Structure 1
């Protein structure tokens, strides 16, 4: 099962991390921003993590004769999600290093500008600016940035694993083909 976790997790991570890297390293302005960027990012994660469902089904049908219990299915999904999340985080690190993108600075500036547009000023704005400066300092540290990036995708993998394990524990759902 470890071999399946590594193989499917690597493919899922390369899909999610590869698209992320292409967006960051692509021509023009760095990446999609705001709601569109989040939508593209999470849809890409779902596409990559759909391999959790495929892997559980294949394992159920090929190795277990068409039946799997919830916990082994969930464990397989979590393993795949973990590997995919590590590869996704490493892809983000590589994209940042290659592109020279100042993500933290751009993010902090956009948050500050949004709050200014809402009319925030004075002490509240000064506190926000100080918070964003602390964020930029923290984000410059890979020991802070890597776990933060990991937690972008891993919860999505947990949800996909839960749903896949719950659905595929029923052998009547997409039953194995008998040739």
Structure 2
């Protein structure tokens, strides 16, 4: 099982991380909303490897049967490794992009609130909040944890659903 977790987790991490590296390189040409949609879609595609790995394990090694908890454990292992690789890719992207991501993000959030007609007091409070977050985001451990909170909520339901569906031997049976 460990070999499958390492193999499929690495594949998931590369599928999720590689497009993010490309999006970071072309960040000035892509609208943030589109980049976010592309990012979350690639995460979902990346974690389809969880389903493939559990099904393959069930059909080949399990003789067509897998219990929920072992399948969930495998899925969570793949999600964890894929998420770590994704977070490492984000760190690489930040190091190579040469831009101050948090400054650009904060400026965008503040500009959006101004466009919505926020008062001067609200803008001042938001600016202080963004500056505080920017200082926290400069810490690599904090940034790494924040990056994991982007991808883990995508992978956890995929692991749960995959384990739940594939525990039924009549669901997509082996041929």
Q: TM-score range by the shorter chain?
A: over 0.9
- Give the aligned partner of residue 78 of structure 2: 80
Residue segments in structure 2 that go unaligned for 5+ positions in a row: none
User: Is this contact kept in 2: 1:77–1:161, CA < 8 A?
Assistant: yes
1:33 Cα deviation after fit: 3.1
User: Is this contact kept in 2: 1:56–1:77, CA < 8 A?
Assistant: yes
**2:47 aligns to what SS in structure 1?**
helix
Match among 144, 147, 164 for residue 146 of structure 1: 144
Question: Equivalences for 1:131-170 in 2 at 5 Å?
Answer: 131-170=129-168
**Aligned residue pairs, count:** 175
CA shift in 2, pair 1:127/1:136, >3 Å:
same
Question: Equivalences for 1:60-99 in 2 at 5 Å?
Answer: 60-99=58-97
| Range with greater deviation from structure 2 (40-49 or 98-107) | 98-107
CA RMSD of aligned residues (A): 1.1
Q: How far apart, in 2, do the equivalents of 1:31 and 1:69 lie?
A: 47
Normalization by structure 1: what TM-score?
Answer: 0.94
Q: How far apart, in 2, do the equivalents of 1:32 and 1:80 lie?
A: 30
1:101 Cα deviation after fit: 2.4
1:31 Cα deviation after fit: 6.1
- Give the aligned partner of residue 112 of structure 2: 114
Normalization by structure 2: what TM-score?
Answer: 0.96
- Give the aligned partner of residue 8 of structure 1: 8
1:122 Cα deviation after fit: 2.0
The list of structure 1 runs, each at least 4 consecutive aligned residues, that deviate by more than 2 angstroms after superposition, is 29-35
Residue segments in structure 1 that go unaligned for 5+ positions in a row: none
User: Is this contact kept in 2: 1:20–1:41, CA < 8 A?
Assistant: yes
- Give the aligned partner of residue 36 of structure 2: 38
- Give the aligned partner of residue 22 of structure 1: 22
1:20-40 deviation per Cα after TM superposition (whole angstroms, max 9, x unaligned): 0011124xx436333212211
1:66 Cα deviation after fit: 0.4
